[in-house]
């Protein structure tokens, strides 16, 4: 999934590739929703009208949930907000026409280096020279993605967090090749859509996931050693640390395949870092296709 935003003319154009990854799909229509709700004109682009209809319906349902809370005492204002937001959203299946008129492209497809590189390489041929490219990757090196294009100085990271309408943070990642002008444009865009940006270097996991993923992996190791049950670990972190979810609940929510892909990638970069050591149990569950909530079973079973 990728979107593009015209920073100077207050427009946002978008491209969404639906690849049966429900979490990625959910993330990006929420991102379009946030852009449209903040006054940007959004053009949602995909390969078929069927997928575009699903995306639009998802945005409408999400907006209804948001306005139910935001305008609890003012239903008329809520209805007006939904109508105004949806007026900022149109759809198209012509990706080339969209990318030809963009200032910023934000990619949010599957967390796979090769697939992302192929996408950026293709878009690089059609986007204007001044266009900034950004990735929403949560774990891959921005520098390696930038190397697939001819615009390394106009390439950075914009990592949003789920659920996008509620989470205020955006990690803005600057590589050694990212120009200061590009970085400032990414910061300005983050603020324009109502987010709070933080500056990150291009290191594994940036800030949040660099702390979060090793925490989850250490919980798995704690369980593997037999030091505590997964249920007790989850309860301990929720009641003792005040976390909304325990590490095993969070792993199942994120997807065990996604977590394995992230930790394997970091381990290949820093094989001697004990924080990035692979987990035999995690590997076993992924091999058995027990990937968490999306498959009905991971560390826990779901009906």
Active site residues: 138, 159, 171, 209
Angle at which helices 208-224 and 280-287 cross, to 10°: 90
Rounded distance between C-alpha atoms, residue 273 and residue 211, angstroms = 14
User: Residues near 284 by Cβ (< 8 Å), separated by ≥ 6?
Assistant: none
Rounded distance between C-alpha atoms, residue 276 and residue 240, angstroms = 25
User: Which three-class secondary structure state does DSSP give residue 41?
Assistant: strand
User: Residues near 248 by Cβ (< 8 Å), separated by ≥ 6?
Assistant: 219, 220, 223, 230, 233, 234, 299, 300
Neighbour order of strands in the sheet with 41-45: 89-92, 41-45, 11-15, 2-6, 104-107, 132-135, 155-160, 169-174, 196-201
135 assigned binding-site residue:
no
191 assigned binding-site residue:
no
Rounded distance between C-alpha atoms, residue 22 and residue 51, angstroms = 12
Rounded distance between C-alpha atoms, residue 90 and residue 92, angstroms = 7
53 assigned binding-site residue:
no
Annotated binding residues for CoA, written as ranges, equal 62, 69, 138
Which parts are annotated binding residues?
62, 69, 138
């Amino acid at each position: 999934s990728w979107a593009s935003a015209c920073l100077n003319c207050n427009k946002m154009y978008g491209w969404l590739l639906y690849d049966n990854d429900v979490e990625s799909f959910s993330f990006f229509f929420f991102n379009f929703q946030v852009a449209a709700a903040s006054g940007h004109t959004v053009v949602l682009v995909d390969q078929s009208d069927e997928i575009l209809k699903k995306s639009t319906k998802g945005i409408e349902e999400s907006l209804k949930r948001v306005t139910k809370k935001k305008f609890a005492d003012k239903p008329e204002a809520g209805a007006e907000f939904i109508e105004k937001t949806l007026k900022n959203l149109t759809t198209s299946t012509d990706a080339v026409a969209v990318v030809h008129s963009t200032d910023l492209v934000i990619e949010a497809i599957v967390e796979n280096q090769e697939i992302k590189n192929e996408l950026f390489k293709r878009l690089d041929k059609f986007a204007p020279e001044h266009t900034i490219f950004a990735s929403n990757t949560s774990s891959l090196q921005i520098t390696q993605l930038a190397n697939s294009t001819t615009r390394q100085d106009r390439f950075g990271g914009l990592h949003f967090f789920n659920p996008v309408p509620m989470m205020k943070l955006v990690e803005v990642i600057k590589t050694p090749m990212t120009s200061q002008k590009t970085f400032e444009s990414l910061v300005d865009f983050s603020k324009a859509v109502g987010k709070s940006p933080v500056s990150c270097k291009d290191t594994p996991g940036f800030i949040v996931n660099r702390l979060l993923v090793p925490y989850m992996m250490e919980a798995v190791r704690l369980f593997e050693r037999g030091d505590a049950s997964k249920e007790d670990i989850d309860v301990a972190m929720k009641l003792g640390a005040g976390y909304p979810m325990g590490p095993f609940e969070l792993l199942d929510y994120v997807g065990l395949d996604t977590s394995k892909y992230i930790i394997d990638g970091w381990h290949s970069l820093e094989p001697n870092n004990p924080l990035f050591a692979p987990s035999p149990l995690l590997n076993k569950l992924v091999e058995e296709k027990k990937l968490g909530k999306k498959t009905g079973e991971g560390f826990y079973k779901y009906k």
